[in-house]
Structure 1
């Protein structure tokens, strides 16, 4: 009994200590936005490998450091998991030799690195462009693979048959635990979070005890002769390629955006002329808005008469700087034609064009700006262009390979090196710190779908009025109540509707975001004097 109790104590100490160490390091640095990741360091497979790979894919600055880091985390993960498995082994059941457990868990660590790495790379891409589609897409495979990989570290014939429902349940419970622990740590101030991380690690140890027992003890198994695990692994890796056709580097909008401001005449109480900016991969065939005071922004520029030109989806892939120059020309042309102050209404990429224009060019006649689904704290990670080394070099090439494979039978519409994405990566200090900050002389509001809460790390995200509504990215478009609020804002009324659950959703997503790259580390960003919300949890800090 004493020996059994000692093994349990040792298991809980081994599971609880690494999260404490990581959380203490994050508090000392500090790196506020990554605090929710620490409990995953001793989670069951594959959440542990997902944790390791996200750190590695963000924090390597050359191929040498990537290869050495990959070897290091694979070795450390195999040894740690072998120790947790040995201590969690059920009493009364013969346990394999220590050498077999080490060898097997090293093999599982290699397998997990191969299978999980594409999804971890997508998670890093999510942090670069701040789109929740990547976050949600990368979590599904973790839930599916968990019971298979847990069995792999314990049982010789792990690749045949379905895992038991209990094993699915315990591994899913670990996902819930990690989500809640990340939220609680994000809420807990200062060094108190270290204790929370330690308690989460102890809970991981108890779940190791349950999952190892279920995997090791004989049980009635369905599909005993079917190689279910290899099928699941192949489908998971293929899914990382197929995902590109569905989500791309920037999630597409729902076809052509036709809000009432385009399809209906503006009421007399609106004194502005209005430019409407659609999002990434939108197109426009030249149809005129219902009101002559309203124009659709053209990513192709203006014709000889100063009127916006029709444009194809590929035109939206240009850099944000070049789009903002086109917007400046269109603002001046519309102001000259109407003699009215100009209001800008953008969604997704269009809202980022609006914010870039307001920052880098004189706002001139622009006195109001409406931003639908802006990218909240974009530019939290980085990868260099082809032919260069730097932070995230291996991540960039992994994304390029995924997109190349995705375009094999038919080309995908997006590219991880397209000018739009590179402009976000290059100007990351600005987009990370100032996207939702006020601009003198311009009334501003952000219409945020609640899903964008998962896109922003816990902490501040806006210092302009926000109107929040349950929806996915771009999903507020077409809601009549929201469109009425836009007209009210343009008419000069105060419009604001923050939702209480937004902060909670921010914290619940904290565990599953990739760690942000500190602004001070990247030479590409060294000329910037922006504050870093990743360290402080605050936005709009003075330069």
Structure 2
């Protein structure tokens, strides 16, 4: 309630969903602390000092909660033992959880759903083990009981539901709702400590299961990004129907189709001469798009927008038709950057497929500089170095594409799904983006929301038909009523955004801050 009152009093709208985790059972309490710390430190010294404070405060608070929750049927350890043990667990939890908290911050930078799930799923795996750590001596050996596993799942569900309730009620009503969440946390502490203290018949009692579970989750995180990229169809050669089939005659536009991050193109022409693939390498001497490798998609959004402007002019000159743009994921951001920063010329329609929802919510400086999130940046570089071992093309948290998003965060945080004068616009949102979007407004243009992962929407026949209907001038819109509910349910697991006014790189912007208002597309 204290944390919630401070956040409501400060008008910090986007971070209020985190308050129920401040007294949650391990590991969600440390996950709460680390996300705040990883976003809100501006030097190595500030991070180290904050880390020490977090460990001490969390250890003492957990020792008190463990002691209060101890079952009467079992002799309670001394206060000294509880304090010592929970301080040790708090320090250990910061080491174990820190990579996942850093991935949560990475999600807030680029709003890609796999980062969110890769940061939350390990919490579910290691929760039953860490919940034993402050209670029993040899917590790392043996399997946790079924009761402890069940209570850890209930803990996750309670946090999710409490955060969704908080963002669903008016401002100051959130304080008593946070109080109810705290009461639920107290009951969960009691049940969890009881389940851990009374569990005597361990399965695999001599096996160090907890370290193995932690290692498995880390190894899995290395393999998840490439697998998700393959599953969503966002990597390699991309051949959606709009490329392989002729356009209906009722479509009045020439169309440029922009693929997403780490796509590639071998130069094969689309079936219809009115359609062109956007090239992340630019045009050849004949003003035709060049084939490009996946590495070319790592360029900055501004430079891609300049290439798009040249291709728009070339296509318009060749076809004498107005131009429509259809972009997926990174391609959608390129379109929005072009429409914002460059003369739109003959462009009269834009379709955004799987656009990133309010990216640029956090910051970390480039190597060799200090600033907000400096330690987080080095953590992400270390994680990227490990995940790159399984990738064909390396990813880098400082590559031009990512850096352009976080440097231009005020724009991307506010205006991706905002209307552009004299341009017909439509967004096709996968349902997964509901969990990606912070609570509050996310669009001011017509949307179609469909059950899907990020990427690959334009390859679906049903989506292709709706896109053709839009290009033919027909009204197309299908917002899903459950989208906002899923948006609220995901609020608990996002990192707190960095307030725009705090970062010197962002302070000159004329944009409002959705983190404080929950609103986008505000007048400059």
Determine if the TM-score, normalized by the shorter chain, exceeds 0.5.
yes
The equivalent of 1:15 in structure 2 is: none
Determine if contact 1:61/1:392 at 8 Å carries over to the other structure: yes
How many Å separate the matches in 1 of 2:239 and 2:128?
A: 46
The equivalent of 1:115 in structure 2 is: 96
Unmatched segments (≥5 aa) in structure 1: 1-19
User: Match for 2:281 among 297, 300, 304?
Assistant: 300
How many Å separate the matches in 2 of 1:52 and 1:344?
A: 43
Written as runs of structure 1 = structure 2, the 5 A alignment for 1:112-511 is 112-243=93-224, 245-246=226-227, 253-408=234-389, 413-511=394-492
The equivalent of 1:514 in structure 2 is: 495
Deviation of 1:168 (Å): 0.4
Secondary structure of 1:300 counterpart: coil
Deviation of 1:244 (Å): 5.4
Deviation of 1:406 (Å): 2.9
Determine if contact 1:429/1:530 at 8 Å carries over to the other structure: yes
Determine if contact 1:252/1:281 at 8 Å carries over to the other structure: no
Deviation of 1:238 (Å): 3.9
Deviation of 1:539 (Å): 0.5
Alpha carbons of 1:476 and 1:409: their partners in 2 closer, same or farther (altered >3 Å)? closer
The equivalent of 1:82 in structure 2 is: 63
Determine if contact 2:237/2:266 at 8 Å carries over to the other structure: no
How many Å separate the matches in 2 of 1:105 and 1:243?
A: 32
Q: What do the CA deviations read for 1:311-357 (whole angstroms, capped 9, x no partner)? A: 00000000000000000000000001111000000000000000000
User: Match for 1:106 among 63, 79, 87?
Assistant: 87
The equivalent of 2:25 in structure 1 is: 44
The equivalent of 1:59 in structure 2 is: 40
The equivalent of 1:16 in structure 2 is: none
Determine if contact 2:114/2:225 at 8 Å carries over to the other structure: no
Determine if contact 1:252/1:279 at 8 Å carries over to the other structure: no
Determine if contact 1:134/1:247 at 8 Å carries over to the other structure: no
Deviation of 1:234 (Å): 2.6
Determine if contact 1:406/1:412 at 8 Å carries over to the other structure: no
Determine if contact 2:238/2:265 at 8 Å carries over to the other structure: no
How many Å separate the matches in 2 of 1:110 and 1:512?
A: 22
TM-score when scaled to structure 1?
A: 0.94
Secondary structure of 1:477 counterpart: helix
How many Å separate the matches in 2 of 1:356 and 1:282?
A: 19
How many Å separate the matches in 2 of 1:363 and 1:221?
A: 67
How many Å separate the matches in 2 of 1:410 and 1:502?
A: 33
Secondary structure of 1:444 counterpart: strand
Secondary structure of 2:167 counterpart: helix
Secondary structure of 1:138 counterpart: helix
Deviates more, 1:440-449 or 1:23-32: 23-32
Secondary structure of 2:429 counterpart: strand
Written as runs of structure 1 = structure 2, the 5 A alignment for 1:19-34 is 20-34=1-15
Alpha carbons of 1:294 and 1:408: their partners in 2 closer, same or farther (altered >3 Å)? closer
Unmatched segments (≥5 aa) in structure 2: none
Q: What do the CA deviations read for 1:23-72 (whole angstroms, capped 9, x no partner)? A: 11110111111111100011111011111000000010111110000000
How many Å separate the matches in 1 of 2:454 and 2:487?
A: 15
Alpha carbons of 1:475 and 1:303: their partners in 2 closer, same or farther (altered >3 Å)? closer
Deviation of 1:259 (Å): 2.0
Secondary structure of 2:458 counterpart: coil
Deviation of 1:265 (Å): 1.1
Deviation of 1:241 (Å): 4.3
Q: For this pair of structures, how many residues does the alignment match? A: 522
Deviation of 1:494 (Å): 0.8
Deviation of 1:408 (Å): 4.6
Determine if contact 2:236/2:294 at 8 Å carries over to the other structure: no
Alpha carbons of 1:297 and 1:329: their partners in 2 closer, same or farther (altered >3 Å)? same
Alpha carbons of 1:475 and 1:305: their partners in 2 closer, same or farther (altered >3 Å)? closer
